[in-house]
Amino acid sequence: MDVPVPELADRAAACADRLRAADSVLLASHIDADGLTSAAVAATALERAGIPFDVVFEKQLDEAAIRSIAATEHETALFTDFGSGQLDVVVEYADAVTPVVADHHQPADAAIECHCNPLLEGINGASELSGAGAAYCVARALGGVDNRDLAALTVVGAVGDMQAGVDGLTGANEAIVAEGVEAGVLQAGTDLAMYGRQTRPLPKLLEYANDVRIPGISGDESGAVRFLASLDLDLRADGEWKRWVDLTDDERRTVASALLKRAVASGVPADRVNDLIGTTYTLTAEAEGTELRDVSEFSTLLNATARYDRADVGLAVCLGDRGAALDRARTLLRNHRKNLSEGLELVKSEGVRVEEHVQWFDAGTRIRETIVGIVAGMALGVDGVRRDRPIIAFASAGPRSTGRRAEADGGDDGGDDDGDGEVKVSSRGSHTLVRRGLDLSTVMREAARAVGGDGGGHDVAAGATIPAGEQAAFIDAADDVVATQLK
């Protein structure tokens, strides 16, 4: 059988062999879009292979989480979208539970037999393969059925981890896209590269798009409406604005070319103008005009569940529930969007502190710690936040209105044991900085360890947990590490 990522064929086969030999498997995964799709890909493959399993989600795979996984009846644990960074701890529990890891984070210094990670074979784990991609390789190796249909969810995971550039997915990810297209579950196309083509009314689509800022349209509701009204098109139906998906091909071309013209006329640089059009991915089996049809919107829907203690809801949607779970997910999505936009407003109004090599803000309890990284990433594009240095954000667990509200209407499943004395750190950089030597995974690990915490992640996006009160010392340490990296 041909394999999607030849470099990982042996590793995926070793993982698959171990899983097939197991009486039962505990599947443990991370609480974000990539973690959920990783779990869905793995769960579907295990199910199809007739291997009994249970699923658990963890915000972080710390020692306590590993200990509780090891304490279950299951003899084998399949870690997806985490595990590599904690391999040194995982091996200490290998007598209690045999570890199988499908991940794409920087591995800690330890070795196990069943470890499917692109970084071990020279493939970039931040841009060329996601956790879902690693899980997909194992799913394809498990066999029975060929599992190519799982490429659709895998692409949602990769895009959810921000692995797609304007030209779409590259490297190993691209091979998975090709399998999805072949299997008929995925379509790749060239289209307006704006978030919300399936679900946002046109003015909102244009107003909220901030990857490429167009003066007089981006962030400007009446400007967006005026622009649309100036086109000689019928962009409303029954008094409501149409969405991008409602337009005919001709109408789309007209809007897109007017938008490009407008961007050029308002002085947007040519390379940025080009970024308005990009590669987009569509899940062909999903209904038009739903969040599930567009991979970006799907991934945001998943973050809206998992980052609010409702990974079960997101997983159910991934596994095909289009009833109660999808309804619940949509409610959570409204709440997530509100929190993201409030978080971004907070950063805009209060600004960031600029140090020599980093910039930072401390949201305290005002941004939920599980989404502060997403807000930090979105903030890198806004006025008042520089793009020439990485951004670091702090958030504290504790009483927070937004989170509580989500839990109240989301029916919290409990089990959230945030320590009072800890602060969550998230950091985001740009690809330009990474090309100059930035590796935030090392920055977070070293600066956190310097103040009694720990961290990790990817070169372009990483996080940490540190003791409360150590923010200033952490920034000093991080500033030093970034200084040496960018020297």
Which residues make up the interface to ligand C5P (CB under 6 A)? 30, 32-34, 60, 81, 85, 105, 126, 160-162, 195, 208, 296, 299-300, 303, 337, 340, 373-374, 377-378, 426, 428, 455-458, 460-465
Size of the site for Zn ion (CB under 5 A): 4
Q: Does 479 bind Zn ion (CB under 5 A)?
A: no
Residue nearest to Zn ion (CB): 34
Q: Distance (Å, rounded) from C-alpha 79 to C-alpha 56?
A: 10
Give the residue carrying structure tokens 């995925």: 186
Decide: 359 and 391 in contact? Cβ < 8 Å.
yes
Phi, psi of 83 (to 5 degrees): 120, -45
Which positions from 41 through 60 interact with Zn ion, judged by CB under 5 A?
Answer: none
Q: Does 128 bind Zn ion (CB under 5 A)?
A: no
Out of 8, 22, 79, 81, point to the residue binding Zn ion (CB under 5 A).
81
The three-state (H, E, C) secondary structure of 319-373, written as one string: CCCCCHHHHHHHHHHHHHHHHHHHHHHHHHHHCCEECCCCEEEECCCCCCCCCHH
Q: Give the H/E segment covering residue 298.
A: helix 295-306
Q: Does 161 bind Zn ion (CB under 5 A)?
A: yes
Residue placing its CB nearer to Zn ion in the complex, 161 or 470: 161
Angle at which helices 311-318 and 324-350 cross, to 10° = 120
Q: Distance (Å, rounded) from C-alpha 448 to C-alpha 450?
A: 5
| Part of the chain binding Zn ion (CB under 5 A), chosen from 47-55, 76-84, 184-192, 295-303 | 76-84
Closest CA to 110 of 66, 58, 56: 66
Q: Distance (Å, rounded) from C-alpha 266 to C-alpha 472?
A: 41
* Smallest separation, CB 410 to ligand C5P (Å): 17
* Smallest separation, CB 152 to Zn ion (Å): 17
* Smallest separation, CB 169 to Zn ion (Å): 14
Residue placing its CB nearer to Zn ion in the complex, 168 or 456: 456
* Smallest separation, CB 346 to ligand C5P (Å): 15
Q: Does 34 bind Zn ion (CB under 5 A)?
A: yes
Decide: 456 and 462 in contact? Cβ < 8 Å.
yes
Specify the amino acid at residue 394: F
* Smallest separation, CB 81 to ligand C5P (Å): 6
Residue placing its CB nearer to ligand C5P in the complex, 126 or 139: 126
Residue placing its CB nearer to Zn ion in the complex, 4 or 157: 157
Task: Pick one of ligand C5P, Zn ion, none as the site partner of residue 208 (Cβ within 5 to 8 A by kind).
Answer: ligand C5P
